[in-house]
Chains A and B, each alone.
Chain A
Amino acid sequence: MTLIKTSEACRFGVKGQAAASWLTAYGLELPDTPNSWCALDAENRVLRLGRSEFMVEGPVSGKLENVWTEGLERLYRVPRYDAGFVLEGAAVSELLSRVCTLDTRPEVMGNRLLFTFVAGVVAILACETSQCYRLWCDAGYGNYMQRTLWEILDSITLREGSAT
């Protein structure tokens, strides 16, 4: 079971009625429903937060930063300061059952983004596979989240001897 903190990843946030068209103009494929996500490739993904707000994560957000121009109509930059985590391994579902009240099975989540509380903190949860989840929260809670998830992970693996 691994827990990787991806806080240093580049993220680019944008919102407004023109946000979707601006992003597609740069060749990005967007999720079509609010509160869902899609992977552009192995390193890049787009999260649709609400109806007209997006966050792009990965190297492509650097490109978007470069082409960003202030002052376009109905298009606003949303500064991001997130702590990101990748939770991977056999103990993931047990870990999630202890920090989240929702049903996080892949068949239930699909490509939806769950806006909920994780370990008492407002967070966004996405499911890649039954053994791989992504988590985002405000970076101010990054240390706390990492510490808490590790502690719980420890107690899971300690009890059961191995990460199953």
Chain B
Amino acid sequence: MTQRLPPQPGEWIDRSRTIEFVFEGKTYPAFVGDTVSSALWAMGERVLGRSFKYHRPRGILSHANQDVNVMLEDGTRTNLRGDVLPVEAGMVLKAVNRLGSVERDFYAVLDWLSPFLPVGFYYKTFHRPKALFPFWEGVIRRMAGLGALSPHAPRSETTKRHAYCDVLVVGAGPAGLSAALTASQGGARVILVDENPRIGGTLSYDHGGEKHALDTLRALQARIANEANIRVCVNTTALGYYADHLVPLACPNGLEKVRASKVIIASGAFEQPAVFRNNDLPGVMLGSAAQRLIHRYAVKPCERAVVLAGHDLARRVTLDLIAAGVEIAAYVELRETADCRWAEQRGIPVYRGYCVYEAYGKKSVEGVEVCLWDGQGRADVTRKHRIACDGVVMSVGWAPAAALLYQSGCQMRFDETRQQFLPARLAEGIYAAGRVNGNFGLEAALADGERAARNALGLAIGSDRVDDAGYSHPWPIIDHPRGKNFIDFDEDLQLEDFANAIQESFDNIELLKRFTTVGMGPSQGKHSNMNAIRVLSRIRNQPIAEVGTTTSRPFFHPVPLGLLAGRSFDPERLTPLHAWHLAHEATWVSLGGWQRPAFYGSDRASAIVDEVMAVRTAAGLIDLSTLGKFEIRGPQAGLFLERFYTGHYQNQAIGSTRYAMLLDETGVMVDDGIVARLAEDFYYVTASTSNAAAVYREMTRCQQIWGLDATIINLTGSYGALNLAGPLAPQILAALLSKHRLERLNGAEQLEIAGVVCRLLHVRFVSEIAYEIHAPARAMLALWEAIHSEGAPHGLKPFGIEAQRVLRLEMGHFIIGHDTDGLTHPFEVGLDWALAHDKPDYLGYRSLRILKRKPLKKRLVGFTLTQPPDVLPDECCLVLRDGAIVGRVTSIAHSPTLNRTIGLAYVAAEDAVPGATFVIRHQHGMDILATVVPRPFVGEAR
């Protein structure tokens, strides 16, 4: 291992466990704990990836998932970030987005063509001739992009769980650790999350050449381990902030949705790159990246480094490099007036008031040119020095990792002294601590974490910003006539791209973002947004505070869709007769959450015909347990029904049934059913399956508002129902009751059948002669089997939904929601008779008075096709008249009983007379002629 350092205190690698992995066809060694990038860098590999657009060689920039220079695929998973992907034995990895190999990418020719590929180039070039654009689009998509999806990726089961805590601390650096300990000692249940494999944050890499950080970390770790109230989650990313303190966490094997009472954001800050020509060469990296390589992975970042400094913390980076044996070729200090004596005393060549003008090298950095500069972006090229090096370490500034703060409604303001956005006004229950709050020093961060926790516990109020110093250079951006000074490494955006965009009038932050796509790559602006804002501010001559930032949205890091999917719940509701249907070869259909028999047997077409004919010639039995069923009881039960439905119920005879139609305020039909009066103050009401819950909901709301003396009991789940229909139905029923009893049957009554206390209703939906029998769910099977065994020898067959549809169509009945839509009112379907006119008021009444006076544009009619085509028109085929749309087909089927095609359709009101013809536009494009016929279809002499 050429670049591996001797054991570093607190390192994250386990030197006793060596493993091997393959990258781009070559095998490499690694330690358990290495990331792919650290293992490759340790072996001297420098070109770890190719950039998105220009396919430029790339290496390590942040090593903290703040850039995607190193994007890999392993044949199953794609877009893996090498900087944070732990090496596992046997991994086989390739870089994404290159043709050939990462070392020799054929698409690198695009870098030479870059003058023709400015930002937004695809809007300007390649669009003429228009016919060729699809071809160019395909080419462009192949040459620029991320990883490929594998169609063979195995399905992974990830868990999804919910958790609660008093205080959620995001980030386990010094501020977060301090906050967690303070909160826990105050009695709170704490969840502490950190995206890294270990806690510690900056304590695990920003050592500044001393032991203090590591000693502090060890002490904090020991104290955390002793606190039973702190649940530590590493390798866990807080994905975003959602209303009322809901923070989903991406854990290694699933998603955890945490609801916290208070949230402390100690997420730190992202180090920002300097912008100079070829700042993306492998070997040019952020100071924190170099420190992570040294202290966490014992990897020497380079042999000979040029440090580019923009603030005082760069000193700590330099001392860490020196302690790791890196030769400092130059300390280039951007600020002319900074104090660099500490460097001079160590014999480091100091270039004060200089900038790095450009880096050079073929596939990794081989040296830099430094120039005197004016601090405003312009270099004095007459005073240039060439310095050979194999690493450029940039330490020029920071941007707060404030995504969750923004999402929680925090207002940030730009602090000109510190050159950083800081929290100005936090939302209720949200607290910020540490670098994200502008406190960079170790002691300041620890104190800030403690203060935030005390605030969260209600023990103190107020915020202090302890650190007054600023650690961000206001303009770490150097012009170069030949460009290739990158601001956004994900999107290959250079400085001139911004000037061009602004010149084209995309000059406000939202437009600039969308035209240049800055911050829209996988890193979502972590390393680029701040510089983009600086550029915009400079060009528009507006202070940064006025330029503002774009909206921060979840997720904090890209998340695999599989993690979000997890387990979904797909509830399935069974009727009490489910096992019987199963045993009798039912073919199922899922309707409204219920499993219902569509037909019995395996051949759909013949089963439907058999079942329909059974009901027409002998008898049929259908499971209607899914119907809505309600008892309305009490002295004002009848009055309640009269105000709710359109009909009369207070004068309904006991033992009779009446039609029930429900309208909404606008007079539109919502549902229909049957009202049976079983006693003076006892009504039994049915509703359709799909509307059962909604009808009950509306009933209870109306009852609350009206305050009538009526009680509503929902029996939809606790009662089942069946329909016994057909010419032999009375005979079958008589065998179970007695003929004498049958003759004395009312329209609705409670009686005992086969030992089961039931409610029997005469309902003519599928047949002229039919009995709907309702009974407690537990008794349904006995009832059904009794009827079935009595009737089967006479030709009784069970029938399913499909046959029911045909049967009710033959009877001429419409189904609400199928033959009616969200605008259909009763007059359009000829239900004038169901509307009472002498009731004080009922739902929809006021609107009916208006609708009644309006001339009808369309009406629902029954029709038949005299010459049906082989393929029948579909439901919803349009009805045309003189080329205009006047209606549509709502139901259509071949009737086995009549041997004819029948259906229901909306036609122009003028055509709604028996004998009239109308035109249906078939789905295959031709026009079919249909004839209006009176309903019901069955029972007519034709």
Contact = CB atoms under 8 A, between A and B. Distances in A.
A16 B631 CA distance: 13
Interface residues of B, number: 31
Interface in A92-111: 94, 97-103, 105
Nearest to B568: A120
Contact of A76 (B257, B567, B574, B711): B711
Interface string A61-92: 00000000000000010111100000000000
Contact of B162 (A97, A139, A144, A159): A97
B813 interface: no
Which of the listed residues A94, A97, A102 has the most CB atoms from chain B within 10 Å of its own CB?
A97
Nearest to A53: B713
A120 B161 contact: no
A60 interface: no
Interface in B610-643: 631, 633
Contact of B711 (A15, A102, A105, A143): A15
A159 B160 CA distance: 14
A128 interface: no
B784 to A, nearest CB: 16
Contacts of A15: 711, 713
A144 B719 contact: no
Contacts of A33: none
Contacts of B777: 79, 81, 139
A152 interface: yes
Interface in A118-133: 119-121
Interface in B549-593: 567, 569-576
B159 A98 contact: yes
A79 B719 contact: yes
B701 to A, nearest CB: 15
B711 A121 contact: no
B375 interface: no
A152 to B, nearest CB: 7
B121 interface: no
A155 interface: yes
A142 B578 CA distance: 12
B159 A81 contact: no
Given A81-B777, A138-B717, A97 B572 contact: no
A155 B163 CA distance: 18
Contact of A80 (B253, B573, B574, B718): B718
A103 B717 contact: no
Contacts of A94: 161
A148 interface: yes
B388 to A, nearest CB: 54
A144 B161 contact: no
B164 interface: yes
Contacts of B160: 98
Interface string B182-200: 0000000000000000000
Contact of B573 (A16, A119, A144, A152): A144
Given A76-B713, A81-B776, A101 B257 contact: yes
Nearest to B256: A97
A97 B163 contact: yes
A141 interface: yes
Given A76-B713, A79-B776, A101-B257, A140 B569 contact: no
A78 B713 contact: yes
Contacts of B571: 119-121, 141, 144
- The bracket for how many chain A residues form the interface is 20 to 34
Given A79-B776, A81-B718, A140 B161 contact: no
Contacts of A100: 162
B631 A144 contact: no
B157 interface: yes
B778 interface: yes
Interface in B477-499: none
Contacts of B717: 81, 138-140
Given A98-B161, A155-B157, A138 B573 contact: yes
A159 B717 CA distance: 37
A140 B715 CA distance: 13
Given A81-B718, A140-B717, A101 B573 contact: no
Contact of A16 (B162, B163, B711, B719): B711
B238 to A, nearest CB: 18
A94 B715 CA distance: 34
A117 B757 CA distance: 33
Contacts of B711: 15-16, 76
B594 interface: yes
Interface string B142-171: 000000000000000101111110000000
A16 B161 CA distance: 39
B713 A141 contact: no
Nearest to B778: A81
A20 to B, nearest CB: 15
A94 to B, nearest CB: 7
Contacts of A78: 713, 718
B164 A103 contact: yes
Contact of B569 (A76, A81, A97, A148): A148
A102 B163 CA distance: 8
Contacts of A80: 718
B665 to A, nearest CB: 27
Contacts of B569: 99, 119-121, 148
A139 B594 CA distance: 12
B570 A143 contact: no
Interface in B420-462: none
A39 B631 CA distance: 30
Contacts of A152: 567
B573 A140 contact: yes
A16 B712 CA distance: 10
A138 to B, nearest CB: 4
B713 A140 contact: no
Contacts of B719: 79, 81
A139 B577 CA distance: 12
Contact of A120 (B253, B570, B715): B570
A144 B776 CA distance: 21
Contacts of B594: 140
Contacts of B776: 79, 81
A15 B571 CA distance: 28
Nearest to A121: B571
Contacts of A121: 569, 571
B168 to A, nearest CB: 14
Contacts of B257: 101
A48 B123 CA distance: 67
Contacts of B572: 141, 143-144
A144 B933 CA distance: 46
Nearest to A16: B711
Contacts of B715: 79
A98 B162 CA distance: 6
A16 B163 CA distance: 38
Contacts of B778: 81
Nearest to B625: A140
Nearest to B578: A143
Nearest to A71: B679
Which of the listed residues B259, B594, B777 has the most CB atoms from chain A within 10 Å of its own CB?
B777
A139 B776 CA distance: 12
Interface string A142-157: 1110001000100100
A130 B451 CA distance: 34
Nearest to A100: B162
A143 B574 contact: yes
A137 B253 CA distance: 30
Given A79-B718, A81-B718, A148-B569, A140 B574 contact: yes
11 contacts: A76-B633, A76-B711, A79-B776, A81-B576, A81-B719, A97-B163, A98-B161, A100-B162, A140-B574, A144-B574, A155-B157
3 closest Cβ pairs, A-B complex: A120-B569, A79-B718, A81-B718
Given A103-B164, A119-B571, 15 more contacts: A15-B711, A76-B711, A76-B713, A78-B713, A79-B719, A81-B717, A81-B718, A81-B776, A97-B162, A101-B162, A141-B572, A141-B574, A144-B572, A148-B569, A159-B253
